[in-house]
Structure 1
Amino acid sequence: MLIMANEYSVRVTSIEEKQTASMVKMVTAAVMKSELDSKGRVALYINFDTDKAAIRPDGKPAVDEIAALMKKETALHLSVEGHTDNVGDKARNATLSRERAQAVVQALVSDGIDGARLNAAGHGSDKPLVDNGSEEGRAKNRRVELVKVVKG
């Protein structure tokens, strides 16, 4: 609430803060396995702060599910690929997407997953899923994808 007053009037403004709907949608290890088996990739929406690579606390459950999958599927190798929307500097977005993928890999390694089974890559805004013309589209393009790596 904001109150402004002078000798002639008092103005009270109520400011309501609405929570933004989160793009974080829990994807279980079983769903990840199914997507990886059928499509070879699965998109995850792990939240990061703007222009940062640290995984936010609400992204930890998704990383835990990736770790659970990899602990169960011991032959699975993944490329963890970061993607951004097209807002901001293209070179910075490429770097940021790689740093975010590396953050996910590091979290998995810290959880006991062998780093030799993981690769991090960043694509910036080069591989959008949908048009970046709306906030909803940009939100869908800000993602981390797990891509199944087939070892010969």
Structure 2
Amino acid sequence: MKRSTTGLVLGSALVVGLSGCASSASQSSSAEKPWYSQPFVCGLAGGLIGGGLGYSVSGDSDEDTGASLGAVGGATAGALLCADDAPKSMDDDGDGVPNDRDECPGTPAGVAVDAKGCPLDTDGDGVADYKDQCPGTPAGVTVDAKGCPLDSDGDGVPDYQDQCPNTPAGAKVNALGCVADLVLRDVNFEFDSAKLTANAEKVLNGVAAKLVSNENVRVRVEGHTDSVGSDTYNKQLSQKRADSVKAYLASEGVGSARIETMGYGEEQPVAGNDTSAGRAENRRVELAEVK
């Protein structure tokens, strides 16, 4: 075959082959390039083809020079054609998420972000981890700007665990958030029975929720009666009522091992038993912390 014909064939091969590589490279800008469209491979192929082209169009006296120049030109052309010249997406805050996908631009340097470019919020309380001074807040708990659970009365027991909200400022409280034993208001029973009323169960639902979240606290349920009836009967009834409250709290997720019970009967009145109002106050259930 004549050198001119060879040159034409190789030149066509160079144009067609490298154009295909370049096309593959541009189509693969958003994914890993195939091996044959890498600039190094394209440059090598271009060098071989260009060298052959240079040789084929040169005279007998300058074969080496023609081949060398063709190889250099072909390699350069191949590498340039396969180079990824697609415009790079900007990432102004340097968090690794391009501006066009970043839903939280302006993230401070070094802050870990999610796929949307937003700072991580591991406990989902609305305060990013890098600002959160109370990580691990339970789901659904209201927090302040620092990511810490609210403590409206400032007693050191957060609202979601506080059995006695609105404690006076400066008062010393126990782990339940109470100054003294908590009288479970409206926790009543059916007449002459240890069966809880429907309203009593509603009250205990709230108590149980806070005890579940305050899992390191152990409590004692104390039953009390008025003086109507014999001492023995009242003591037995108060114990049954305390046990009934424990059983209900346990059914709501409070570990039964965390709850003690004690029936005091009529031994610890808080009011006189000579009036109906006084007797009503004495018929009560209290919740105390066990240290």
1:31 to 1:38, Cα distance in 2 relative to 1, 3 A = closer
AA partner of residue 32 (structure 1): C
Higher strand share: 1
Q: Measure how far apart 1:37 and its partner are.
A: 3.4
Are residue 85 (structure 1) and residue 193 (structure 2) matched? no
Distance 1:29 1:88 in 2: 38
Are residue 116 (structure 1) and residue 248 (structure 2) matched? no
Moved over 6 A (4+): none
Are residue 96 (structure 1) and residue 228 (structure 2) matched? no
Q: Which runs of 5+ in 1 are unaligned?
A: 1-27
Contact 1:80–1:121 (Cα < 8 Å) also in 2: yes
Percent identity, aligned pairs only, is 33
1:29 to 1:135, Cα distance in 2 relative to 1, 3 A = farther
> Which has the higher mean CA deviation after the structures are superposed, 43-52 or 102-111?
43-52
Distance 1:103 1:38 in 2: 23
Deviations 1:13-54 (A, max 9, x none): xxxxxxxxxxxxxxx963437564342411113111221001
Taking structure 1 as the reference length, the TM-score comes to 0.75
Higher helix share: 2
AA partner of residue 30 (structure 1): D
Distance 1:38 1:48 in 2: 24
1:5-24 equivalence runs, <5 A: none
1:2-151 equivalence runs, <5 A: 30-32=162-164, 36-45=176-185, 46-150=187-291
- Higher Cα radius of gyration: 2
Which secondary structure state, in structure 1, belongs to the residue aligned with residue 265 of structure 2?
coil
Contact 2:163–2:210 (Cα < 8 Å) also in 1: no
Distance 1:110 1:76 in 2: 17
Q: CA RMSD in A?
A: 1.9
1:102 to 1:125, Cα distance in 2 relative to 1, 3 A = same
